[in-house]
């Protein structure tokens, strides 16, 4: 039996939740939240404010300064995202506050032209991909503020990203992996091999502790607080991944980092990694390429996409469909297996004739 529908809450087709209410002036207000519990919290808070006479129609009476909007966004980010995502949000938000065209303005006073100016200013000093990451966070900041009733519009939606699609699905061929390991210093070999054979995100790998490694079951557990989608998952360890771990000194404390040499951040890994990539003459390769390599090799080995989705920790199957084309040669090979099971040749017997017989057809009246 379906659960009783709660007044003011409605789930949207994309999985998000809409919460709506009628303000004191009789107007219907609609807002969007990521989860049902989040939508319920905002709705109950608003109803309490109206009952106690503290309700303000922020969209009409309040021009939220950018600094205040950023502060509320960071509160949301700290509660709802991973620690490294929150750190990145904090880093980028400092740049937003320092940009001259944004200073002294409210959220609703910032338009698409202002965001375009910020985009042009940033791309003069950093790569387009970095600008896209920056704009994506700014877009989320405005969306969160709209949900909280701090502004009405999201100007970033009208701005075109340099690469609207996801990053290139570059993966390493076996000979490229060999070349990379030959050029890489020994102290980062274990991290490279472990990443290629587990598919962990960089943040998941650097924050991995020995308590998450189960040698008896030969698997690791990525906990929800460290996973991008806030969902825990188990990843089995193959022989190469286990061999990589065995080269590392194992700490007694379960909360000790597996890759303690890098102290949980990319800074200690970045320079030797980038130098190795350059000397191996690998183009379009970043650390995330190792994760793509893991997924690509699984698909080419015959693993189904649902399994790949679970191992990668993606929330939807759509995220792994980009690897589907890699399975096509293997699918063709699978179809050819039917040839060995054919019961007749390309010229099957006509109705009424027994297979392999030269007799005349039997009349249905006989």
Query: What's the pLDDT score for residue 148?
Result: 83
Q: Would you list the domain boundaries of the chain?
A: 9-55, 66-158, 174-332
Question: With contact defined as beta carbons under 8 Å apart, do 137 and 56 qualify?
Answer: no
Q: Please state whether beta strands 213-214 and 17-22 pair in parallel, antiparallel, or not at all (unpaired).
A: unpaired
End-to-end CA distance of the chain: 60
Of the candidates 197, 245, 204, the one whose C-alpha atom is nearest the C-alpha of residue 221 is: 204
Question: Which CB contacts under 8 angstroms, 24+ apart, belong to 342-347?
Answer: none
Each residue's pLDDT tens digit in the chain (366 positions)? 455 678 889 988 878 888 888 877 777 888 888 888 888 988 898 888 888 877 766 554 457 899 999 999 999 998 888 788 898 999 999 999 999 999 989 998 999 999 999 999 999 999 898 999 999 999 999 999 988 888 888 999 999 998 754 445 789 999 999 999 999 999 999 999 999 999 999 999 999 999 999 999 999 999 988 887 778 899 999 999 999 999 999 988 999 999 999 988 888 899 999 999 999 999 989 999 999 999 999 998 889 999 999 999 988 888 888 888 777 766 666 677 677 665 545 555 555 544 444 444 444 334
Q: Which burial class, exposed, middle or buried, applies to 176 when counting CB atoms under 10 A from its CB (0-12, 13-18, 19+)?
A: middle
Q: Please state whether beta strands 233-236 and 219-222 pair in parallel, antiparallel, or not at all (unpaired).
A: antiparallel
Q: Please name the fold of domain 66-158.
A: DNA polymerase; domain 1 (1.10.150)
Query: What's the pLDDT score for residue 2?
Result: 52
CATH number of 174-332: 1.10.443.10
């Amino acid at each position: 039996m379906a659960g009783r529908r709660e007044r003011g809450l409605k789930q949207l087709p994309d999985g998000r939740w809409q919460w709506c209410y009628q303000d004191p002036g009789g107007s219907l207000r609609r807002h969007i939240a990521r989860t049902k519990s989040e939508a319920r919290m905002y709705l109950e808070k608003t109803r309490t404010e109206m009952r106690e006479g503290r309700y303000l129609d922020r969209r009409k009476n309040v021009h939220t300064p950018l600094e205040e909007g950023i502060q509320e966004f960071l509160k949301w980010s700290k509660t709802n995202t991973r620690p490294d995502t929150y750190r990145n949000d904090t880093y980028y938000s400092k740049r937003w506050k320092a940009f001259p065209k944004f200073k002294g303005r409210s959220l609703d006073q910032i338009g698409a032209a202002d965001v375009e100016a910020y985009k042009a200013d940033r791309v003069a000093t950093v790569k387009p991909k970095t600008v896209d990451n920056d704009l994506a966070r700014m877009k989320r900041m405005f969306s969160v503020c709209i949900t909280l009733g701090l502004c009405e519009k999201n100007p970033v939606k009208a701005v075109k990203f340099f690469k609207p699609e996801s990053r290139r699905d570059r993966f390493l061929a076996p000979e490229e992996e060999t070349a990379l390991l030959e050029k890489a210093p020994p102290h980062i070999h274990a991290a490279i091999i472990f990443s290629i054979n587990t598919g962990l995100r960089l943040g998941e790998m650097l924050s991995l502790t020995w308590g998450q490694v189960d040698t008896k079951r030969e698997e690791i557990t990525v906990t929800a607080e460290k996973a991008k989608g806030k969902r825990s998952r188990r990843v089995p360890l193959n022989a190469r991944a286990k061999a990589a771990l065995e080269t590392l000194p194992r700490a007694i404390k379960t909360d000790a980092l597996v890759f303690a040499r890098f102290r949980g951040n990319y800074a200690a890994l970045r320079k030797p990694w980038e130098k190795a990539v350059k000397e191996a003459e690998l183009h379009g390769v970043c650390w995330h390429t190792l994760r793509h390599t893991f997924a690509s090799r699984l698909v080419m080995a015959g693993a189904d996409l649902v399994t790949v989705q679970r191992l990668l920790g993606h929330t939807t199957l759509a995220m792994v469909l980009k690897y589907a084309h890699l399975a096509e040669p293997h699918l063709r090979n699978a179809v050819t297996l039917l040839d060995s099971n054919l019961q007749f040749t390309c010229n099957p017997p006509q109705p009424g004739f027994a297979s392999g017989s030269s007799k005349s057809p039997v009349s249905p009246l006989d």
